[in-house]
């Protein structure tokens, strides 16, 4: 993780992304193309708007779209609606306390997810992003990842095995080295470390096939949702 963001420079070897050695480009160019959803998201004192877009680079509609995709506000809610007692608690002008202490852990994690959506980065790193949240929030995050990050590269360090069995490829680490690398189905059929973890977690080959199919369906649903949202915002 540190070497990907070049917090620590490599002492040997290379990290190549899209044919480019990341050590040959500037830090700003590199990090502007990366986003991270950490296990413990950092929020700052201010508003929801300032936490999503600290440099005022995006419109309110873009920020609101990210909140909707992250399931922080209802799908039919709009940013220009008058505030009433029935309005969503989370809105762009809502005050956020230091470290987001006035938000639940799940809401803070979804805020980090919305922030990554706003950035539009090409590579998103999920560092144990769901290990500390309940299953409902985990489901929201997985659905948003499947729909909101379509066409981007997602690197996920997972605590819950079921959250990654629908991914394109899985890398199994053992003692700091790559032990297995392949699609979930390929690794299952090898009857190695990954298969053992699946067996201990009660994951069957049918679950892997189903998760892969659901991920593909979510991609398609996400495209339709975004197209409908764009039409709605243009009305």
pLDDT of residue 56: 94
pLDDT of residue 151: 84
CATH code of the domain containing 104: 3.40.50.300
The count of domains in the chain is 2
Exposure string for 166-197, b = 16+ CB within 10 A, e = fewer = bbeebebeeeeeeebebebeebbeeeeebbee
What are the tens digits of pLDDT across the range 128-178? 877 777 888 888 888 888 888 888 899 999 878 888 999 999 999 999 899
What are the tens digits of pLDDT across the range 66-86? 999 999 998 888 877 777 766
Instruction: Output the pTM of the full model.
Output: 0.80
The domain boundary residue, chosen from 160, 188, 211: 160
**Which range of residues forms the domain containing residue 83?**
33-144+152-160
- Cα separation, 93 vs 221, whole angstroms: 30
Q: Is the separation of the CB atoms in 140 and 110 below 8 Å? A: yes
In a domain, 90, yes or no: yes
For residues 132 and 110, membership in a common domain is answered with yes
Percentage of the residues of the chain whose pLDDT score is greater than 90: 58
């Amino acid at each position: 993780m540190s070497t990907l963001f070049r917090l620590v420079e490599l002492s040997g070897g290379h990290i190549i992304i899209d044919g480019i050695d990341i050590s040959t480009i500037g830090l700003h160019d590199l990090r502007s193309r990366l986003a991270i959803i950490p296990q413990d998201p950092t929020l700052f004192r201010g508003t929801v708007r300032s936490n999503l877009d600290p440099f005022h680079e995006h419109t309110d509609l873009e920020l609101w779209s990210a909140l909707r995709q992250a399931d922080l506000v209802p799908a039919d809610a709009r940013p220009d609606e008058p505030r009433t007692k029935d309005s969503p608690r989370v809105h762009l002008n809502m005050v956020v306390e230091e470290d987001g202490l006035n938000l639940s852990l799940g809401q803070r994690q979804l805020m980090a997810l919305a922030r990554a959506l706003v950035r539009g980065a090409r590579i998103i790193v999920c560092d144990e992003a769901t290990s500390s949240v309940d299953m409902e929030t985990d489901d929201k995050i997985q659905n948003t990842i499947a729909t909101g990050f379509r066409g981007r590269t997602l690197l996920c360090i997972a605590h819950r095995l079921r959250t990654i069995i629908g991914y394109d490829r899985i890398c199994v680490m053992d003692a700091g080295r790559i032990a297995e690398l392949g699609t979930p189905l390929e690794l299952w059929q090898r009857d190695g470390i990954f298969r053992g973890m699946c067996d201990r977690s009660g994951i069957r080959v049918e679950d892997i096939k189903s998760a892969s199919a659901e991920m593909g369906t979510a991609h398609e649903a996400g495209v339709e949702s975004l197209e409908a949202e764009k039409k709605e915002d243009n009305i």
